[in-house]
Amino acid sequence: MLAAIGVVFGDIGTSPLYALKECFSPQHGIPFSEDAVFGIISLMFWAILLVVTFKYVIFVMRADNKGEGGVLSLMALALRSMKTGTKSYLAVMMLGMFGACMLYGESVITPAISVLSAVEGLEIITPELKRSVIPITLTILIALFVIQKYGTAAVGRFFGPITLLWFVSLAALGVLNIVQNPQIFWAMNPIYAVRFIAEHTLMAYIVMGSVVLVVTGVEALYLDMGHFGKKPVRYAWLVVVLPSLLLNYFGQGALLLSNPDFIKNPFYLMVPEWGLLPMVILATLATVIASQAVISGAYSLANQAILLGFLPRMAIKHTSDSEQGQIYIPVVNWSLLVMVIFTVIEFRESGNLAAAYGISVTTTMLITTILLSIVMRREWHINPLLIGLLIASFLAIDISFWTANLIKVKDGGWYPLMLGILCFTCLMTWYKGRKLLRDRIVSDSIPLEPFVAGLLAHPPHRVEGTAIFLTAHIDYVPVAMLHNLKHNRVLHQRIIFLKLSIWDVPYVTDQERVTVKDLGGDIYLVRSVHGFKETPDINKVLALLEQEHGFKFDLMETSFFLARDTVVPAKLPGMALWRERLFAWMLQNAAKPSDFFQIPANRVVELGAKIEI
């Protein structure tokens, strides 16, 4: 529970810094009144209960893929019962990938808005510090991204206690102010929310785009479920996080009933003067932890996308010997840093970023609901009437939040949409390009088993050692094999055709990982399967072949043959020429298979070919 509090709830836990302030933003034109305070606090209360507790904690977290959560895991579950290549399969796949892309947008905005809102507390201490807010924010964020390469294991030990202290402080500040105006608890009555919507219909609809800020980070509950298990996440939410957040929001509402002028920054103005500086420091630490959580999530999502075939291979560094999920991807890290710096400089204030934040959060929430409905019907086989009632209620809330944020597209909502569309274009171009490349290779390939039979009937000169040919197709001869025979005219004493496959499950046990087929003449077809959260490692595959199938390997006598394809964009059926050029550029800049699969560098032979698509 303590670890889950430190990692999972950092994002949603820092929402009190800016959520209520944004609801009363002058841009919305909502006149300040006691009824408005009760109405908005009531909306926040029911948003947290219905979206986080009822939808995610009770229902969405049940949709686990062998214990793993997140939009990509949910997409894999939804696709499991569909026929590959059908229109419905492609539609669900694209929907899931767009949800993942919007999560990347959230990974850019969360560090910017969280750290900015924390450092803005310096303005409350003394207005002269306002000019220092952006430089301090940028310094903190740059330092955060620079230390990523050292891993989060050491820092992670402190995450839980600091975040727990943060939630205890939120609750204490809430109680301190609720005591002054305990009538704020009447806002739990949904009548206040309904009355506010009825009396200020248009304004209430607009303010819904800010109310959704109280549930930002809700996807983290689902995404990080696999790290801690369902029970610790659920208990941490119900016992610690939910009461602390509600007490703080009610405390901010109680403060505004007594001091309407404090709406400019109700969170920091509810803090006693002696505690302002410590609270700014604690808030900054909490927002750094929240940022760390989404950055780590971005690495995990990128790794899953690579293994599922939606991103080119990238250099991945494992920062922990004991924890498999702790990885660092330099390309993702520095790309995020550049975008976060741009975001802070472009938007300058947390209030300006709130509009951008909402659109990415609500789009992912909406996509999760749609994918959940498919899983409920196809995997859980729940009564269609019950599914209809549940999904209709979820959609009613999600669409209300989503459309309310669409109004803010020109005020900043364009930013995560632009990031999401750019990311989605790259992912789908890579997916489509790989399919075209695979089809072109297969159309010119030779079936494997007849080829091996002919080769053994009239074998070339055989030399000592083992040759391992990485292949993308178990039924066809690898291009690297044909090139080797053509140029070197020799055959190694032992030949292994190795296919590395990714299944739609997060992890695969060692017992089911490797299968071997003897093709005769000391030639073998080996298939090694991996989950979409596992990075294939050639050394571990060879170790399993030795343990389970009796192979013996001397790396100094083993050579790995890989095909290095160069794509030539051409006016052939498939993709638009600009997408073919984008795919060719991505392929050219992808990490080498030898690096990605951790093949010993001095044992690799790469043989290239040019292919038109």
Q: What are phi and psi of 442, to 5 degrees?
A: -65, -40
The one-letter amino acid code at 149 reads: K
Fold of the domain built from segment(s) 2-412: Amino acid/polyamine transporter I (1.20.1740)
Q: Determine the pLDDT at residue 153.
A: 55
Question: How far is 462 from 343, CA to CA, in rounded Å?
Answer: 61
CB distance 264 to 127 below 8 Å: no
What pLDDT score was predicted for residue 154? 52
Residue spans of alpha helices (H) in 471-575: 479-488, 538-549
Quick: pLDDT tens for 146-183.
Answer: 888 876 555 556 678 889 999 999 999 999 999 999 99
Residue 425's closest CA among 583, 531, 549?
A: 583
Q: Is the pLDDT of residue 526 over 70?
A: yes
For range 581-593, the mean pLDDT: 90
How is residue 177 written in tokens?
């102010």
Q: How far apart are CA 586 and CA 607, in angstroms?
A: 19
Per-residue model confidence as pLDDT tens digits over 25-42: 777 657 778 889 999 999
| pLDDT of res. 321 | 56
Order of strands, edge to edge, in the sheet holding 558-568?
Answer: 514-520, 523-530, 490-502, 461-470, 558-568, 604-612
Average confidence (pLDDT) over 547-575: 88
pLDDT reported for residue 221 = 81
Residues pairing with 318 in the sheet: 327
Average pLDDT (67-71) is 83
Nearest-5° Cα angle at 177, 175 to 182: 80
Residue 323 pLDDT > 60, yes or no?
no
Q: Which residues pair with 462 in a beta bridge?
A: 491
Are 476 and 448 contacting, i.e. CB atoms less than 8 angstroms apart?
yes
Q: Percent of the chain, pLDDT > 70?
A: 97
Whole-angstrom CA distances from 597 to 102, 216, 316, 471, 479 are 29, 36, 10, 13, 19
- Top pLDDT among 8 and 363 is at 363
CB 326 within 8 A of CB 318: yes
Section 314-325 average pLDDT: 69
Beta bridge partners of 523: 495, 520
Which pLDDT tens digit goes with each residue over 359-380? 888 999 999 999 999 999 888 8
Find all residues with CB under 8 Å of 173, minimum gap 6, and list them: 248, 251, 270, 271
pLDDT of 407: 84
The predicted pLDDT at position 95 comes to 94
What mean pLDDT is reported for the chain?
88
Tokens of 548: 């389970």
- The radius of gyration computed from the CA coordinates of the chain, to the nearest angstrom, equals 27
Element holding 197 (H helix, E strand) = helix 190-199
Residue 54 buriedness (CB in 10 A; 0-12 / 13-18 / 19+) = middle
d(CA 68, CA 151): 22
Q: Tell me: the pLDDT tens digits for 231-262? A: 888 999 999 999 999 999 999 999 999 999 89
Determine how many CB atoms are found less than 10 A away from the CB of residue 135. Answer: 10
Q: What angle is formed at CA 595 by the lines to CA 592 and CA 597, rounded to 5 degrees?
A: 105
Rounded CA gap, 380 and 372, in Å? 10
What 3-state class would DSSP assign to 65? Answer: strand
Q: For residues 375 and 32, give the distance between their C-alpha atoms in angstroms, rounded to a whole number.
A: 44
The per-residue pLDDT for 324 is 54
Which amino acid, one-letter code, is at 353?
A: L
| Contact criterion met (CB below 8 Å) for 145 and 295 | yes
The token pair that represents 438 in the structure block: 């695979």
> Hey, where are the domains in the chain?
2-412, 440-612
